[in-house]
Chains A and B, each alone.
Chain A
Amino acid sequence: KAGVTQTPRYLIKTRGQQVTLSCSPISGHRSVSWYQQTPGQGLQFLFEYFSETQRNKGNFPGRFSGRQFSNSRSEMNVSTLELGDSALYLCASSLLGTGYTEAFFGQGTRLTVV
């Protein structure tokens, strides 16, 4: 059974640009959550999608957005990139959502904003 796949693994962008990250969950999983990891803030929750609907959102500015497709694949988008957006972005796949079933993480996308 394939795990959670995130693409790309590494990205370098310039301030002001926008970026789109992709996450393919484990087959059959309907919940996808996104997290940002930075050395200073640890792992911070961005948002969660379940069956194409955003059910929850963390405390991030509106520049951070996401969506989920009918096949449960998810994308997150960051517009008008800032230096502080440099981080490891992780997505987690869960059958029914955390609180009910385990969440499995992808390898992450390392975003560097210069």
Chain B
Amino acid sequence: EPEVTQTPSHQVTQMGQEVILRCVPISNHLYFYWYRQILGQKVEFLVSFYNNEISEKSEIFDDQFSVERPDGSNFTLKIRSTKLEDSAMYFCASSETSGGFYEQYFGPGTRLTVT
């Protein structure tokens, strides 16, 4: 069964460093998403991406964040200068289309620890 994959599974970085989280969405999916979950809290939407453009982004997704689909398979989230409060689990998701009948499938997540 097709699945969303993410690498790395765990990333430790120092405050102020740049990190890139990588995702490979399901191959025939057109919409891609990033969510984050701070330990013990709810899942929060960061950004959605379609046709090489951001469809929607949350207040969390400020200028420190960017997303890219550098090739036909990868979808990346970059955090330019990490802060302690960026420590969280980051989930990538993909769907055939947006909303409605096409559910989002989530990857296993990348645990980001900022020290």
Are chains A and B native binding partners rather than an unrelated pairing?
A: no
